[in-house]
Structure 1
């Protein structure tokens, strides 16, 4: 049983921490997407935008070698096969090779996140520094765009033959607040990167730092008008203070319990549909956005699916359907609906196999010992209630990272024994600032 100490195998596909490099370049590209799109376009360096995708291809190979071959995870093999089959199914559903290629590119960040399965995000010191800098610069970017009109606002660029807009300045319904996007490509993603980078950085910071910078982050997110993100951050701050007030031995179990309970957020859209479906949405009203999601975003895709591909209600309609590959590159673009929920959008693509996968993810996290992954689980489960989060790529990557425990050697061994993962006696490692003594994870030393 001591083999379950989860030490990283000595032989890896590459000697570098390729998953950390991939996460770092994706994060920098997407958090500053407005700036990078603008300057790479005007200097004719557009191909640099796809550099993170090239690194992600190495992570796909590493996922296959480490999770499937080395960890002997049957689940990893099934997930890999399901994604590949869904790409083929998506090609037949959407009808063009360009849409299929776009769907493949869309799914690459998943394998980057899964490569963190046997390691703790906290052991990547250099990556944590990049994330912290991303938080500070993202806050500064939104504040700057409140006072200055940046050159990338409204800039249009071409990608795979489709014209997109890097960012635009527009006004929130019923008020004078602009939806500001800082250095990112849109306001929702600007808010998301502030939320995620703050949550990760706060783990090793003092409570005073968390309250000061958390309050600033709430104000800045308010400028982006992303209500969901602001609510999640406020709730995170409240729970952070409550957890740190608990006796030391109770703190980590509380964090894990909060992360597990956050899966209940998956049911929120269905509860809202039952309660408020059919309620007329009044334009320019406070509830217009959520009622539009209830009546259209969360239901219409299933209506169209039953017309286009009835079996897809069970099997899914393939990677890329009812997502941006269909919107931009498919003859079925007229049937595209903005699916503003990660779990609904992913079910549409993968069907019942995705439900089975999420059951395994939930089960695996009963034995999770990485406070970073548990924190991200809480954040993404609440954030994705009203956001699909497949674009930009870093959004999907962060979700996959928070799910990656399901492919760990411990989870694989527990499934082989047909038991729920049980915590074994481990060396104790303290997290500075958080004040949580937690069971050690598969650390790989300082990065």
Structure 2
């Protein structure tokens, strides 16, 4: 299968004059669904979210100093319009079954959430905007964020700035640390010092939170790493690794080691990296049942006796992962089938009368299943089809990485998580991939 030029073009091609886009082979880009103009809006909003998340604490702090805190919500407002675009262009116009299911599930889940949590206007808006970034990523059907040269450069700057922010923090006292701001009646700390086991500080860089900082280093780098030579990639691993260790984020470290292993194998041993990536992406879905199995088999087991570093995993297995479903089975049995509504057992729940029930369900699939119920389980089947519909190595790699990440990350905290997760699976909304990719099946693969 042919590889995509936007992903594997040598570094020297950056010096060639180009007007707007980086040349890509037909199998990588499908402009019949998302026009260039619409795609330009999508990537612009994506970058607005990404830079906002990467600079969370610092941006909130400086916006408050100039009394422009309302600008924080600009990308959220724009994302509501993109949800309308997704509904019209992909669900209704293209009649994609899984797109229709997504829109109907979201609408129904919003209704259930309003009734279940007795939401006020702010919590209802918060619950809706929780999921809006997902529509931003899902709308990039058949497109690649590295098509546009300036987007590629913006993503490179994104992971570089995030990495530098973490590396500098042990040596610089950022002015926003310890600051608290009023957020529509809710006091929110924009800069906290987080601690890990053994008294280690969890550095969060400009984002102010370690999980977010590590994500903003690793995933954007994975998207653009195709643009670098082998030597540059290997050299970049050193500061990225050191920065991730400063965040003490174990999930990020595991995913980073997976990336390095995949990179070394495909660049020095494998003759068909696309086929390997497709297999890995498919196998990454095993993380979903493994979580459920762990909740059943390891419940009550003292994992800290094996290694104290497993305390956070033990806490998730025994307390946070299963709590929403246990509580619903005892108090709201219908929720096991229809969900408890958009925003429940995620951060919008903290703005409602049920705030005392909130627990950090740090798993994308579990938290979304709790909100949307069984319709989301059907949607996951559609997500799996993206493995075989997508012709992009970039998206196949992301599918594997975000699935591994999603084991201990909810995916809605920083909006960029939801965007890039949906972007990875966006080709699920393409028509059947067989005819689309058959044209290129006989073309020789590029190394």
Q: TM-score range, shorter-chain basis?
A: 0.7 to 0.9
Pick closer, same or farther for the CA change 1:120–1:4 going to 2, 3 Å: closer
Contact persistence 1:139–1:194 (CA under 8 A): yes
Among 137, 140, 143, the residue aligned to 2:164: 140
What is the DSSP-based 3-state SS (H/G/I as helix, E as strand, rest coil) of the residue aligned with 1:158? strand
Pick closer, same or farther for the CA change 1:106–1:13 going to 2, 3 Å: farther
Q: Distance in 2 between matches of 1:246 and 1:398?
A: 29
Q: 1:149 aligned to 2:173?
A: yes
Contact persistence 1:18–1:55 (CA under 8 A): no
- Within 5 Å, which residues of 2 pair with 1:286-325? 286-325=309-348
**Aligned-pair distance for 1:429?**
9.8
Q: For residue 229 of structure 1, what is the aligned residue in structure 2?
A: 252
Q: For residue 362 of structure 2, what is the aligned residue in structure 1?
A: 340
Q: 1:437 aligned to 2:446?
A: yes
Q: For residue 355 of structure 1, what is the aligned residue in structure 2?
A: 377
Contact persistence 1:37–1:49 (CA under 8 A): yes
Q: 1:70 aligned to 2:84?
A: no
Q: 1:114 aligned to 2:123?
A: no
Among 424, 433, 437, the residue aligned to 2:438: 424
Q: Distance in 2 between matches of 1:11 and 1:228?
A: 34
1:140-161, CA deviations, whole angstroms, 9 ceiling, x for partnerless residues? 1001111111011222123232
Q: For residue 220 of structure 2, what is the aligned residue in structure 1?
A: 197
Q: Distance in 1 between matches of 2:33 and 2:294?
A: 49
Pick closer, same or farther for the CA change 1:129–1:11 going to 2, 3 Å: closer
Pick closer, same or farther for the CA change 1:216–1:5 going to 2, 3 Å: closer
Q: For residue 19 of structure 2, what is the aligned residue in structure 1?
A: none
In angstroms, what is the RMSD of aligned CA positions?
2.5
Q: 1:279 aligned to 2:301?
A: yes
Q: For residue 206 of structure 1, what is the aligned residue in structure 2?
A: 229
- Within 5 Å, which residues of 2 pair with 1:84-95? 84-95=107-118
Q: Distance in 2 between matches of 1:429 and 1:20?
A: 30
Pick closer, same or farther for the CA change 1:218–1:275 going to 2, 3 Å: farther
Q: For residue 406 of structure 1, what is the aligned residue in structure 2?
A: 428
Normalised to the residue count of structure 2, the TM-score between the two structures is 0.88
Normalised to the residue count of structure 1, the TM-score between the two structures is 0.88
Q: Distance in 2 between matches of 1:213 and 1:356?
A: 39
Contact persistence 1:13–1:62 (CA under 8 A): no
Q: For residue 381 of structure 1, what is the aligned residue in structure 2?
A: 403
Among 28, 36, 55, the residue aligned to 2:51: 28
1:326-380, CA deviations, whole angstroms, 9 ceiling, x for partnerless residues? 12x1111111111011111110001111111111111232131012211111111
Unpaired runs of 5+ residues, structure 2, are: 1-25
**Aligned-pair distance for 1:78?**
2.1
